[in-house]
């Protein structure tokens, strides 16, 4: 959508054009603050919260942003609802302030048996595999690092559930972050360690936090592995990914413009641009008299 203005355009027309822009371009800035899940722009999303100040903003394609401050436990992200493992590319920013219990991981569930699992790429003050009764079952190498396998069996309601962790060593640093996760290789390592996994329900590249302060700005996309196990971007991922998502090999350049909003997800992205545009145009000191013209 393009609007053309002249010095003779009326102030009312300018404001009307801004309203059109605000209402027609805000589809990818829905802010989630309560437990929910669904599909958007070809991706599955999930957000869970026990309460407090935490929010996740759904952006275009595989991108989401988060921000939290002294919240209860929460997590959320974007991915896929599918029974098939895949290579997941992710890139963006993951930031915390001070000593905070938070992590960035590929999170998911399987059914029959019911298993909750994490492939943890980065964490803060607490290693999430340090659960009560956790067992170190082995170490394997994939995706350019060593991963430690932990089993944390537990009960969820009346249904027995497994809780598996693969912890990256060394963990990735805060700030700009990117990588690729070949799910099949991790699942094979779990099987060799004796961990049973059921039919895959969904996976998301999730940010999780508890109390403290932090933010993230993460984009996920499909990847593929060649016969040598090298990971590359998938050219056949959904059309929405081609313009909004980036592979791990190009994360530095594609995310340089998003760092400014990584710490202010609920009001960042398109919302911040629109607010600036409306304020700027409304403050112009012109006596404007022609109308705005919309070009589709």
> H or E stretch including 31?
strand 30-32
Q: What are the residues whose beta carbons fall under 8 Å from the beta carbon of 174, sequence distance 6 or more?
A: 94, 95, 96, 122, 124
Q: Residue 14: its pLDDT value, please?
A: 42
Q: Residue 166: its pLDDT value, please?
A: 97
Q: Residue 176: its pLDDT value, please?
A: 98
DSSP helix/strand/coil, 243:
helix
Q: Residue 153: its pLDDT value, please?
A: 73
User: Any idea which residue has 């829905």 for tokens?
Assistant: 30
Residues 212 and 68: their CA atoms lie apart, in Å, by 8
| Range among 78-82, 96-100, 227-231, 241-245 with highest mean pLDDT value | 78-82
Residue predicted with more confidence, 62 or 272: 62
- Which of 52-61, 163-172, 240-249 is the least confident region? 240-249
Within 13 Å and on the Cβ side, how many CA atoms surround 217? 26
- Give percent above pLDDT 90 in the chain: 53
Q: Residue 157: its pLDDT value, please?
A: 63
Bridge partner list, 47: 36, 76
Residues 28 and 270: their CA atoms lie apart, in Å, by 8
- Which of 49-58, 79-88, 108-117, 229-238 is the least confident region? 229-238
| Range among 144-158, 205-219, 258-272 with highest mean pLDDT value | 205-219
Active site residues: 116, 208
Q: Residue 134: its pLDDT value, please?
A: 84
């Amino acid at each position: 959508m393009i609007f053309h203005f002249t010095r003779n355009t009326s102030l009312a027309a300018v404001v009307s054009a801004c309203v059109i822009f605000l209402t027609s371009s805000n589809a990818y800035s829905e802010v989630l603050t309560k437990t929910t899940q669904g599909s958007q722009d070809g991706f599955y999303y999930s957000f869970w919260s026990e309460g407090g100040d935490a929010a996740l903003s759904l952006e275009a394609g595989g991108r989401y942003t988060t921000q939290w401050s002294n919240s209860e436990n929460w997590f959320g992200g974007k991915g896929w609802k599918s029974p098939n493992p895949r290579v997941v590319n992710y890139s963006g920013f993951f930031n915390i302030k001070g000593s905070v219990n938070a992590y960035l991981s590929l999170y998911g569930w399987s059914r029959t048996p019911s298993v909750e699992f994490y492939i943890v790429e980065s964490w803060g003050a607490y290693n999430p595999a340090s659960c009560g009764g956790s067992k170190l079952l082995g170490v394997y190498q994939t995706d350019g690092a060593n991963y430690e396998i932990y089993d944390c069996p537990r009960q969820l309601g009346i249904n027995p559930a497994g809780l598996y962790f693969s912890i990256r060593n060394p963990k990735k640093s805060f700030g700009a972050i990117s990588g690729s996760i070949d799910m099949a290789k991790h699942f094979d390592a779990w099987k060799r360690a004796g961990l049973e996994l059921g039919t895959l329900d969904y996976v998301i590249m999730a940010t999780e936090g508890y109390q403290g302060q932090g933010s993230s700005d993460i984009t996920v996309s499909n990847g593929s592995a060649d016969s040598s196990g090298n990971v590359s971007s998938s050219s056949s991922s959904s059309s929405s990914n081609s313009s909004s998502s980036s592979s791990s090999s190009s994360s530095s350049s594609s995310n340089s413009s998003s760092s400014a909003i990584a710490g202010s997800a609920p009001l960042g992205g398109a919302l911040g641009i629109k607010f600036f545009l409306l304020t700027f145009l409304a403050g112009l000191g012109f006596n404007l008299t022609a109308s705005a013209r919309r070009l589709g």
